[in-house]
Structure 1
């Protein structure tokens, strides 16, 4: 065991985390190797480019970097606005082997040659200059030192991501399956980045804006935010916005960074909590709008005037790429959760919707065999859901955990007071306190067995196992203590009258534990004929929450004191709403007959009104 900040982690968890880090780092290195080859490819051109003059261009060639070339003086006008004249160079300044002409610059992402155009002498001059610049770029990108530097930076970025994630959500590192799932998602991003580069080089060969629109930068943030939580999703956004430019390389790192940052934020925010088809539609439209908006910004700020002069082809391709990106995210969020639920024991929004309809076989059994426990679970679910919403926790998960937290009482429903009618004898009257405590503890163990049998997800199993923590069973302990005093015996051991569970950590499970105790205590007020007024409810809930803190039941809770107080206040508010006061009805009130339709009210006999009945205002 390794202890960090008071928390214990198994060595196998630390080993698994280290292995995942090394695998992801190695995958980044492989991607860097392949991306170097992808980015340094140029369409095959003849050695004598002058032979191309007068022919029709068969493909597009886009400049990846800025470069200059000398245009023949005969073609002073700039064709199609592709280049910008900087200055005129007189023949005296030019070298002997260079003909006189105009020095012109070509910006990155500007077409050098377009498919279907007639190749001119100036086109050949641009191609010759770009071949020379591209050869230098290829030699620079294939050096081992920049590659190793990029790989080292990738490792440092991943290390910083792990440290930040540990500071934000430490309990994640004690769940090996979550670490593996997160590693798979990040590895998927690295692989898709490489595949996108290959597809771009083979089939599109366009501008860097088109490459950024092709990259699935919204996919992994959307998946992690939806399946692992919003905090992890936004941490993933920061990681990928720093990692993707290193993997892509080239001259447009800031452009790739902004696409990764804003695209990731859009995916994490729009697909965090989706419950219906409208959410998918709005998420897809949001992703599409984000990609198109970023393209508009860069096309305006660089500037790229040729994108506006020939609006249709470029922006049509951007629209297709943006819609394809959004469609990929939607399809992934429809299919991936099915696999994640099966192999990684993660509760998805779809699974919560299935469990929230109360048609689960366990809830049907609870409704038929233990109706009192079932009604208690419904009330606890309402309290837990409202309290979870008050602090921004997963309200759906809190409600589902509350539905199933007491399914262990199915093994012997009549052993629990809520399932006894007024005329039934309490079986605990004929049992010793030790036997009664053993029965109560068994409902936790049996509930865990049922949860495993029906393959309920981990958070629900945690709620079943931890909703009592290791707290004392006070009623039977006091009963045993009284008997021991009467018989002059030593006081009973607290261990014999305590649950053998663990203290809850997950916020939703902590809320279920508090709501479970408060609901049962307030219902006991009603059963004891004591009026559940707002003052009584507030006093009782405050006492129960304070008692749990004093008994150290909330020591491992991932809640701040401010959040705990908001949970307490919301439970008090909801309980007051449930047990609201109503005016008493008159003891004797005869039914009032309404006159028949069409009859004269004056001819109808008037009902007798009791003397003690006060008139309605």
Structure 2
């Protein structure tokens, strides 16, 4: 009783803490695109990020970044090489190279000049002569070459790009010149007015040349403009990648703009469409409320939460005492259910708090809450009823803690996921069943979210935009919880000695070392265990118990007979009776000892608690009547025979599956002793055995109703009648002498086996 009270108090304190300490304020339940159905006012002053102004400033900062142009040194060198080649060609003697031709007349066809002389093609003779004289003097040519190099290094740009930069409507004042061809990046800023296209750069260079050499004739200057205009190529190329990178860095450097909002100010007007900025403002307001509200407002609210949690915990305990009578009396099981419930309460609270610290809206909260965690973990270990009671309790506490107008939505989601998770995990026998459970929870959560999201204020477009995040959160929740359950399940089995169907499937392997020993060392007991397993499984199916657990418990219930298998009648060889020379008390001691030896083997092989219960309880406190009666017949004067020496130590069977194994064990052994068993004899015998068990109070602790007991009896009668039916005699072919030979179960005579101990 003390353990029950302690468990209830622990759950109550945890639930009270969850709903009272720093309880979440009522969250908004909106998405972008939804229309507000009422005015929303601020309750506390707060600061929020002005997303619109921040984006505006970041776009402005990005626009202010100057276009970046990269200098192309190979283009500079190529132009200079062409200029040097032209100079050499002009300085060459008349016979050494093809001389440039003067401009042909209109009716003449000009020959194609050489590659080096292409820039001077078409010039008149006076201009050519002036160019030869200028080139022939090394000082003048070197000056010309230096002027060309300077203009090329300053930057020559394509004419159409220069027109774009100097556009009257959106002029660009300057550009950034990037020279990264010299091993390190060097940048400089050039005014747009200082940029030149090839034609203007050639004219400027010719003018500077003329200013340095005053004797330059107009013909020479014009020739230089023409030749240099043909030689010069753009040396600046637009660096789109560098420009974009610089603009991103400039935008990122802009700090987020914050705005102050006082208390009682309008956050959203009724009918206003929720934008990303409005939603961010609402969420920041909810986060500020969450941080400021360290406890629920007022002592009245705290007391209300504590009393409400107490009522819910008491109701849950009462329901468990009615629907799961063995839970409150099973210490280990009660502790496990209590711990899982406490963890579920705290886990839901932590997930909700983390969500509200990031977002003030509960629109995506419900798919995130792991409400099915406790039910999925408890269903295979403590049963579906305990799992559902725990799951519904934690769902109600979570709904009270969230304190949202959508609490009914949360209750429905939690109830459905607990029902689905518990029902599917209750009989999960393979890893694929875990995947099935996760998929079902994901589909249920997503469907419920879509159904609850259909409302007048939410346009279809906003719902479709929210579908992807809703599906992502639901998927992560479902399979995240499934993965955690898969990891924790064996840990809880080890700590509390419970057995899930996943473990029972492993134990049902007939190649288990104990079962292999039983098959080799006690084949009669092995066959008896298989028969008992079939009977118990059929009975479990009839009353809705766990057929797999009943079968596995039956496999191992008589492993204690491995200690002295020859003393049990199913293993006695023909004509051998080991009890013939033993006192009844000694024979009874050998029979009773198989329970203690079985428990020792169970501990050695680390069998789960339900199997150990089947070994210890399958005989309850029944009497080894055969040897007790024999002791009474051999009783000597002055020597009293006490029943306690011939009774099993117990305890009486409690778990449904163990009760079924106990009944199946008794019925199979007794019906084997019937001569010429018929369905009528089997039914009478089984009814007698069941009545004896009830009359002797062996089923007082059993978790069975009389209705279930009737269905169990009918199932065992049906199964044993089909297993022990008589075979029809069949004739054999006559031998060569014509003597007919009869064979068959009804025509074969066999000597009765020697008297031995009754089946135990």
TM-score in same-fold range (> 0.5): yes
Is 1:395 aligned to residue 397 of structure 2?
no
Distance 2:282 2:729 in 1: 97
The correspondence of residues 322-361 of structure 1 with structure 2, limited to 5 A, is 322-361=474-513
Is 1:499 aligned to residue 648 of structure 2?
yes
What secondary structure is seen at the aligned counterpart in 2 of 1:211?
A: coil
Partner of 1:545: 690
For residue 311 of structure 1, report the CA deviation from its aligned partner: 4.0
Contact 1:38/1:197 (8 A) holds in 2? no
Which has the larger helix fraction?
A: 1
What secondary structure is seen at the aligned counterpart in 1 of 2:404?
A: coil
Classify 1:136/1:186 alpha carbon distance in 2 versus 1 (closer, same or farther; 3 Å). Answer: closer
Is 1:305 aligned to residue 471 of structure 2?
no
Distance 1:555 1:22 in 2: 30
CA displacement, residues 54-98 of structure 1 (integer Å, 9 cap, x when unaligned): 679999xxxxxxx9959xxxxxxxxxxxx8xxxxxxxxxxxxxxx
Equivalent of 2:4 in 8, 17, 25: 17
Equivalent of 1:246 in 400, 417, 421: 400
Distance 2:443 2:618 in 1: 45
Contact 1:49/1:128 (8 A) holds in 2? no
Unpaired runs of at least 5, structure 1:
1-13, 60-66, 71-82, 84-102, 592-607
**Range moving further from structure 2, 365-374 or 151-160:** 151-160
For residue 142 of structure 1, report the CA deviation from its aligned partner: 3.9
For residue 324 of structure 1, report the CA deviation from its aligned partner: 1.1
**Range moving further from structure 2, 270-279 or 467-476:** 270-279
Bigger RCO (CA 8 Å, 6+ sep): 2
Distance 1:554 1:408 in 2: 23
For residue 519 of structure 1, report the CA deviation from its aligned partner: 0.8
For residue 385 of structure 1, report the CA deviation from its aligned partner: 0.9
CA displacement, residues 412-461 of structure 1 (integer Å, 9 cap, x when unaligned): 111111111213x2011111111111111111111111112222122111
CA displacement, residues 235-292 of structure 1 (integer Å, 9 cap, x when unaligned): 1233123222112223322222222222222212222211124422322221111111
CA displacement, residues 557-604 of structure 1 (integer Å, 9 cap, x when unaligned): 11011101111111111111212333211044579xxxxxxxxxxxxx
Partner of 2:148: none
Contact 1:38/1:201 (8 A) holds in 2? no
Classify 1:285/1:47 alpha carbon distance in 2 versus 1 (closer, same or farther; 3 Å). Answer: closer
Distance 2:287 2:650 in 1: 69
For residue 374 of structure 1, report the CA deviation from its aligned partner: 0.9
What secondary structure is seen at the aligned counterpart in 2 of 1:427?
A: coil
Equivalent of 2:599 in 420, 445, 448: 448
Partner of 2:433: 279
For residue 43 of structure 1, report the CA deviation from its aligned partner: 11
What secondary structure is seen at the aligned counterpart in 2 of 1:212?
A: coil
Classify 1:577/1:51 alpha carbon distance in 2 versus 1 (closer, same or farther; 3 Å). Answer: same
Classify 1:448/1:54 alpha carbon distance in 2 versus 1 (closer, same or farther; 3 Å). Answer: same
Contact 2:375/2:418 (8 A) holds in 1? yes
Contact 1:69/1:104 (8 A) holds in 2? no
Equivalent of 2:568 in 405, 413, 416: 416
Distance 1:381 1:43 in 2: 71
The correspondence of residues 16-415 of structure 1 with structure 2, limited to 5 A, is 16-32=3-19, 35-36=22-23, 45=47, 104-105=270-271, 112-114=274-276, 142-203=297-358, 205=359, 207-300=361-454, 302-306=455-459, 308-415=460-567
CA displacement, residues 101-137 of structure 1 (integer Å, 9 cap, x when unaligned): xx6346xxxx8441xxxx6xxx69x969996999799
What secondary structure is seen at the aligned counterpart in 2 of 1:45?
A: strand
Classify 1:191/1:590 alpha carbon distance in 2 versus 1 (closer, same or farther; 3 Å). Answer: farther
For residue 463 of structure 1, report the CA deviation from its aligned partner: 1.1
Distance 2:595 2:285 in 1: 74
For residue 152 of structure 1, report the CA deviation from its aligned partner: 2.6
What secondary structure is seen at the aligned counterpart in 1 of 2:681?
A: helix
**Range moving further from structure 2, 344-353 or 576-585:** 576-585
Contact 1:219/1:328 (8 A) holds in 2? no
For residue 145 of structure 1, report the CA deviation from its aligned partner: 3.0
For residue 610 of structure 1, report the CA deviation from its aligned partner: 7.8
Classify 1:331/1:612 alpha carbon distance in 2 versus 1 (closer, same or farther; 3 Å). Answer: closer
Distance 1:221 1:400 in 2: 24
Classify 1:42/1:194 alpha carbon distance in 2 versus 1 (closer, same or farther; 3 Å). Answer: farther
For residue 180 of structure 1, report the CA deviation from its aligned partner: 1.8
Distance 1:182 1:455 in 2: 22
For residue 355 of structure 1, report the CA deviation from its aligned partner: 0.8
What secondary structure is seen at the aligned counterpart in 2 of 1:470?
A: coil
Contact 1:112/1:127 (8 A) holds in 2? no
Distance 1:267 1:555 in 2: 33
For residue 303 of structure 1, report the CA deviation from its aligned partner: 3.3
Over aligned residues, Cα RMSD in angstroms? 3.6
Is 1:475 aligned to residue 626 of structure 2?
yes
Is 1:586 aligned to residue 731 of structure 2?
yes
Give aligned pairs, total.
525
Classify 1:46/1:350 alpha carbon distance in 2 versus 1 (closer, same or farther; 3 Å). Answer: closer
**Range moving further from structure 2, 507-516 or 324-333:** 324-333
For residue 388 of structure 1, report the CA deviation from its aligned partner: 0.8
The alignment's TM-score, normalised by the length of structure 1, stands at 0.77
